[in-house]
Structure 1
């Protein structure tokens, strides 16, 4: 009798606990209608509100882009550029290139001294590092083609955020403090700006940016001309004149974003839809995936010697190709078809050994016989109709060139550093390049940004992308592998530790907790050099499961402010 009474009490306690705990069978980030995943919780909420008001994914993307310029100034922007990969509910795909361009007066040797040596920091900091911004034009064109709600309603949330202020998160306060002195040095005469000060920023501090609110108000009322003409354009030109930058009135007036066909590839039972040049991301991603399919990654355990070694060997060959063959297709011949052909890749990967690493000096670029620190940000949106957009946007480095437009309150990019300023000389991410990515007037610089959408059996399956300069491509690659080869859940794909290798420098960069002592020793024995990293990439993924359930997976382990928001 006593035993039965005890059992009854235990069962009652179990029932009580079960009733008061969240339903673990349903992910808190699983939504029936729309979902937005960004690097900042406020921007995610802005996008979600647009979706709930009847806006589509493209409306939400416009609102998020402008909101990030306010709440995430290290990478969110109106003074930078980016790429968008789009898949409509009807299955049509396209991409929008709103990458920055070199000013008309830019020249191939503009960052070299009289002896032909690179002048340190000239392409990274200050006015001469700035490319012609593309973000506003890109958002205008995105809305013009696909938007549903009124333009003014999409920009208004960012106007309100800038005018009323945003509370600094711990993460954003720490980042501003890390760059505070560098920002002050470039903008010492602009102490009225909310980002220019000698004292530290504090968590919870209200940052009001009235100057940026006025700029956003003009964009809201006048669209494209509210940025590239009139008062805002004059503020940019004044800034260029003061700092001896190159952007002219004609550069601003004549900037145009470009609609381009996506780069598509097949991997297992999936269709990969990604960004074409001047992004190197789509071509490199599909090359890597074809290599993974060739070596049948699913036969190996995640994190095993074989898994890591083969990924690195594939990556080093693909990055060698990137350095030689890729650039702005409007200015050079990019052999996309050849680089993605099975014949070429079979030959390219044929000398990979399972026992030892290859020497980067022996790899070089493949013969195709021709006759993107770290601060970028990625966000993904899916609406209730099934429209999907993956956007990666950037100022390049954290806070770009560190130049703030006086009277405008926004940072300008340092995207000129993404050109090959001298063949064989690495940029701030260690990436080298050649003549295909040399500086030319009005040319778009090569990028590593890899916004990607994946179909499985003809249906929307996954959206993915990441910031991280040169690590973007490999981060996206590993997330696709995690989902398809290792069959991880959406959040597991994002959380899994990552590695990176890029041909030069000849190293493996590995996140903590990935390599066991045994695997580390095997890699070293095979000839690899390993450098530990605190984090690689920062994913913002959406997966679509049976029943049209959208699962948002934010990379909160690496970036606590990121969030999936939906309904």
Structure 2
């Protein structure tokens, strides 16, 4: 056990270090103000779930272009008293009125991504807020109105815009509808870092939830405003869609890696199964034999990602609509088959999805792999309390700025989650009434001998699973300090020809992989934004860290 803790640095939390250390609680998120809100809830005697819900509402104010009232998400929670882990699924669903060919033009071609992702027909039924309410009632100790109050204060009294706003507004102003432009670019002048901003409309929305509970959203004034906004612009959602939305509480998918147990969401998130499959493929290669900057490590990561992500694209769906070979994908014999595709000679041109169905005792489904475009951004946050409970959530409005549609008078953006479906009919992930699109959200808890030792997650659309896997490897195989593990350059490689890479990747390793047939994006780019907490069960200490790719913080008590 000492191995994963030995290099941890107990640096006092600062904006520069984005580190936290404590013994009585820890919160980490992508925005410092939200982390402070969660920490204050812990300080007031709240537990990890109380803090997590408070952070979600705070992020709805200070990071509203990535999450909020119109978002979807997955929560994972470890109850230390009951010694059980559950996933609270607040994933989005398609409204009843959708059709399988709704993103197909009259000539039979697929609508371009920009058009279909900024149209009101792209908006799915949001689930995060109902999931938060459900989780709070089951696992929390504080009432909803109390954990919302800090977010109300941020919206009413204001906060300083951080540099992330500058980037989001400058790059994605083209996605904004007129109402969003009024808020983000008032009188034609973009909001900039350091500006003091208030969101009175969002404060009103939060006050309505405080007063009426989540019925204000799913059967009341806020929901009526959403439906009215969408239908006026040609959208499909109805109040019936909102009223009938249900949150699920389920067991996580679990697997092992070098004596540690991994717990993460099951489908319709493809994250958990794919993460565990990646780790199982890598396990017998003993990555620790190779330097963390070596070409061998990056080669194994790249080929493993190709193997796992091709399977994800072939087999992941909403389990209410499609059978998924969960056991087959993680079966030891199937893992060996996938490992044998790694030849150490080149980028293996024969890598494609396999046939896990034979390990389920049924014939192959002969699924057809068709890559689909997903949004790039989300947010992740996590909390641990003094009683040993662990909570983590990844929530999103899909693309940065979501659909670009802001609800007039209510101050929040709507998602474009239906673009996570494959646009053509008859695909395993095609859109259907009441169906949830495949997600890559992977809030994860790692256990040793039944006790939680690490909670980790990331935004980043299709790159999320890769970021979480590399974090686990950095901690478990390379025994890195938590913050150093987050900052270690990551890669992402799917079924396409190019490897995405982060600044700082070893140049010689990159050259070697190019010689082996891999191609790299021309420029480095940030991959994900990891938030993590390491739990030292031996010493009773907590270490938290936030990723420098956003203005986040980790604060311990």
* Other-structure match for 2:44: 53
Q: Is the 8 A contact 2:89 2:131 kept in 1?
A: yes
* Other-structure match for 1:152: 145
The 5-angstrom pairing of residues 114-125 of structure 1 reads 114-120=106-112, 121-125=114-118
Question: 2:136 aligned with 1:143, yes or no?
Answer: yes
Q: CA 1:25–1:209 in 2, change beyond 3 Å: closer, same or farther?
A: closer
* Other-structure match for 1:225: 215
Question: 2:280 aligned with 1:290, yes or no?
Answer: yes
Q: Is the 8 A contact 2:74 2:128 kept in 1?
A: no
Structure 1 position 25, deviation (Å): 6.5
Question: 2:34 aligned with 1:43, yes or no?
Answer: yes
* Other-structure match for 2:468: 476
Name the SS for the 1:282 alignment partner.
helix
* Other-structure match for 1:387: 389
For residues 187-237 of structure 1, what are the alpha-carbon distances to aligned partners after superposition, in whole Å with 9 as ceiling and x for unaligned? Answer: 26x776466552121222222111111111111111110111221111111
Question: 2:77 aligned with 1:86, yes or no?
Answer: yes
* Counterpart-to-counterpart distance in 2, 1:278 and 1:118: 24
* Other-structure match for 1:11: none
* Counterpart-to-counterpart distance in 2, 1:352 and 1:402: 42
Name the SS for the 2:138 alignment partner.
helix
* Other-structure match for 1:492: 484
Q: CA 1:384–1:486 in 2, change beyond 3 Å: closer, same or farther?
A: same
Q: CA 1:305–1:50 in 2, change beyond 3 Å: closer, same or farther?
A: same
Name the SS for the 1:533 alignment partner.
coil
Structure 1 position 52, deviation (Å): 0.5
Name the SS for the 1:375 alignment partner.
coil
Name the SS for the 2:80 alignment partner.
coil
For residues 364-405 of structure 1, what are the alpha-carbon distances to aligned partners after superposition, in whole Å with 9 as ceiling and x for unaligned? Answer: 443424556521000111001010011000011101000001
- Corresponding pairs, count: 526
* Counterpart-to-counterpart distance in 2, 1:324 and 1:170: 38
* Counterpart-to-counterpart distance in 2, 1:195 and 1:160: 22
Q: CA 1:443–1:86 in 2, change beyond 3 Å: closer, same or farther?
A: same
For residues 507-542 of structure 1, what are the alpha-carbon distances to aligned partners after superposition, in whole Å with 9 as ceiling and x for unaligned? Answer: 2111121122x2222111111111132211110000
Question: 2:134 aligned with 1:134, yes or no?
Answer: no
* Counterpart-to-counterpart distance in 2, 1:351 and 1:177: 43
* Other-structure match for 2:17: none
Structure 1 position 288, deviation (Å): 0.5
Q: Is the 8 A contact 1:180 1:198 kept in 2?
A: no
Normalising to structure 1: TM-score of the pair?
Answer: 0.90
Q: Is the 8 A contact 1:194 1:209 kept in 2?
A: no
Name the SS for the 2:225 alignment partner.
helix
For residues 325-354 of structure 1, what are the alpha-carbon distances to aligned partners after superposition, in whole Å with 9 as ceiling and x for unaligned? Answer: 101111111111111111111112212111
* Counterpart-to-counterpart distance in 2, 1:192 and 1:292: 49
* Counterpart-to-counterpart distance in 2, 1:483 and 1:348: 24
Structure 1 position 543, deviation (Å): 0.2
Q: Is the 8 A contact 2:315 2:325 kept in 1?
A: yes
Deviates more, 1:342-351 or 1:60-69: 342-351
Question: 2:225 aligned with 1:235, yes or no?
Answer: yes
Q: Is the 8 A contact 1:279 1:450 kept in 2?
A: yes
Name the SS for the 1:123 alignment partner.
helix
Q: CA 1:42–1:335 in 2, change beyond 3 Å: closer, same or farther?
A: same
Q: Is the 8 A contact 1:104 1:441 kept in 2?
A: yes
Moved over 6 A (4+): none
Residue 442 (structure 2) aligned to one of 438, 444, 450: 450
The 5-angstrom pairing of residues 497-516 of structure 1 reads 497-503=489-495, 505-516=496-507
* Other-structure match for 2:405: 403
* Other-structure match for 1:375: 377
- Structure with max Cα Rg: 1
Deviates more, 1:131-140 or 1:173-182: 173-182
* Other-structure match for 1:27: 11
The 5-angstrom pairing of residues 143-292 of structure 1 reads 143-183=136-176, 186-187=177-178, 193=183, 197-292=187-282
Runs of at least 5 residues in structure 2 that lack an aligned partner in the other structure = 1-7, 13-19, 364-373
Q: Is the 8 A contact 1:181 1:198 kept in 2?
A: no
Normalising to structure 2: TM-score of the pair?
Answer: 0.91
